Each structure stands twice: as structure tokens, then as C-alpha cells.
Amino acid sequence: MAGLKIRRVLVAGNWKMYKGPAETRAFLATFEPPDGVEVVLCPPYVSLTAAVESGLSVFAQNVHWAQEGAFTGEVSAAMLVELGVQGALVGHSERRQYFGETDETVARRVVAALGAGLRVIACVGESEEEREAGQTELILRLQAEAVRDAVGEHERLVIAYEPVWAIGTGKTATAEQAQEAHAFVKSLLDRPVLYGGSVKPENAAELLGEPDVDGALVGGASLDPGSFAAICRAAVR
């Protein structure tokens, strides 16, 4: 992958709606990331500045598609750039499930973020019902192609495969399930693919040992500096 700006293994901590600025600074006071892996923090908007001060790579958890305008509650890519934020998550399943995010709005957000010079982690993944109905590849195809058709194999784009049934449930995809889904996504869109869904220090090495697992997107286990550092160490190659 010539020209790839992102080191091959990337571990991102998605804090969701946890940790204001004070808790962010407390986390950073004890968090010791290892060398040899790129670590990204995705705190809530209000904690972005506190996280940027640490010198680590910081991504927002979402980004709007317009440069500015009457969009109450939204934040633009240019505003994130101004804060020193390097990228954004887009299309997390919680955005899709609770906030009406669609493949179309995901694509618009990805276009705007990349256009502003940000990096993007675009999330895809099937629900439990979809997996049981044998629709995993169909859903991954729809979601990944929406992004591919909008921006192609952009060098600042990374995909996260997050099976919805594994997020926050303690149920992790097996390494084989993850590998199979990652290889499928890469057959549609040749970009690095992170695995997300109940990644913990105990299962990180096995998941990250698969050839097409290029890193991890970690929710719950990224909230504790010790467990997040242990996952980052498991990703060192």
C-alpha cells in the first residue's frame, strides 16, 4: 500500500459519551501508550482540546458535512481542524441506530471530512438479525460501497468493521469471523480495516493476529488507561 499515511496498526479508543475535560486529563496523566502502534483517542467534543494537549492523535466521534450553517448541535470539519483534531469517526452504529444516520449521510460526512484534510474511520457492521438471516455480506457491501462510491480508496480513509451484536455486549466476533468480514470489506474497498466490538486486553492479540485485522476500535476497554494501554501493547508488531 504505497503512499499510505497511516501506520499499518492503529488502535483507536472511542470514549462515546464518557469523560469531560477533567477526566480526560486524569486519564492522560497515567496513560502510557507503547511505541510501534498508532494510538488515537476519540473523546466527546468538549474534551477534544484537553486530549489534543497530550500530543496523541485525536479524532472526533462525528463531523457534519456542511462548512457552517444553521445546523444546531453539529460541528464542522473546519472547526475540528482549528482545534488540532486529526480525524473523525463516521457512521458508528450508535449514530445509525439512535440518531438516524444513513449510508447517504455517512457518505456526505466522509466527503466533507476528507475534503477538509481530516482522516476518517468509517464504521460498517451487521446487526445480529442480519447475521442470522445470512445478510452480513449484503449489509457490509451496502455500507462499504456507499463510502467507496463517495470517496474511493482515499489515502486518509480507514474502515472499522464493528458487528453491532458485539458492541458493548461482551460478545466478541471470533478471530475467524473478523478475518472473514475484513477480507470481504477489503475486496470492496482496499483500505485498512480495524475491528471493533468488545475488544479487551484478553482477546486483542488473537484478533490483531489475523492478517486482515489492521487495528482495533475500542469502546468500553478504552476508558481505563491500564486496559487501553494493554490493548495497544497487544497491537505492537
Out of 47, 105, 198, 227, the only residue in the binding site for ligand PGA (CB under 6 A) is 198
d(CA 223, CA 20): 12
Check residue 122 for interaction with ligand PGA (CB under 6 A): no
175-188 vs 201-208: helix crossing angle, rounded to 10: 50
Per rule CB under 6 A, is residue 192 in the interface with ligand PGA?
no
Find, among 8, 26, 7, 9, the residue nearest to 233 by Cα. 9
The residue range among 50-58, 63-71, 191-199, 224-232 that interacts with ligand PGA, by the rule CB under 6 A, is 191-199
Taking CB under 6 A as the rule, does residue 220 contact ligand PGA? Answer: yes
The verdict on 143 binding ligand PGA (CB under 6 A) reads no
User: Grid coordinates in use for 221?
Assistant: 476497554
Amino acid letter, 154: H
Stretch of 69-77, 99-107, 129-137, 195-203 contacting ligand PGA, by CB under 6 A: 195-203
Torsion-angle region of 71 (φ positive above 0: left; ψ -120 to 50: alpha; else: beta) = beta
Annotated catalytic residue 104:
no
Judged by beta carbon, residue 162 or residue 210, the one nearer ligand PGA is 162
- Residue 70 CB, shortest distance to ligand PGA, in Å, is 30
Scanning residues 31 to 90, which ones bind ligand PGA (CB under 6 A)? none
Cα 60 from Cα 40, distance rounded (Å): 10
Binding part of the chain for ligand PGA, among 25-33, 59-67, 193-201, 226-234 by CB under 6 A, reads 193-201
How many residues line the site for ligand PGA (CB under 6 A)? 13
User: Looking at 94, 126, 130, 162, which residue is catalytic?
Assistant: 162
Q: How far is CA 28 from CA 161, 219, 228, in A?
A: 27, 16, 11
Query: To 10 degrees, the CA torsion angle through 152, 139, 18, 215?
Result: -60
The footprint of ligand PGA on residues 2-21 (CB under 6 A) is 14
Tell me the CA distances in angstroms from 180 to 33, 67, 122, 213, one per residue in order.
29, 38, 18, 10
User: Cβ of residue 27: shortest distance to ligand PGA, in angstroms?
Assistant: 16
6: Cα within 13 Å, side-chain hemisphere: 27
* Closer to ligand PGA by Cβ: residue 151 or 167: 167
CA gap 74, 236 in Å, rounded: 35
CB of 118 to ligand PGA, least distance (A): 18
Cα–Cα separations (whole angstroms), residue 80 to 9, 48, 59, 222: 24, 9, 9, 22
Part of the chain binding ligand PGA (CB under 6 A), chosen from 128-136, 147-155, 179-187, 217-225: 217-225
Q: Which residues bind ligand PGA (CB under 6 A)?
A: 14, 162, 167-168, 196-199, 217-221
Please give the positions annotated as active site. 92, 162
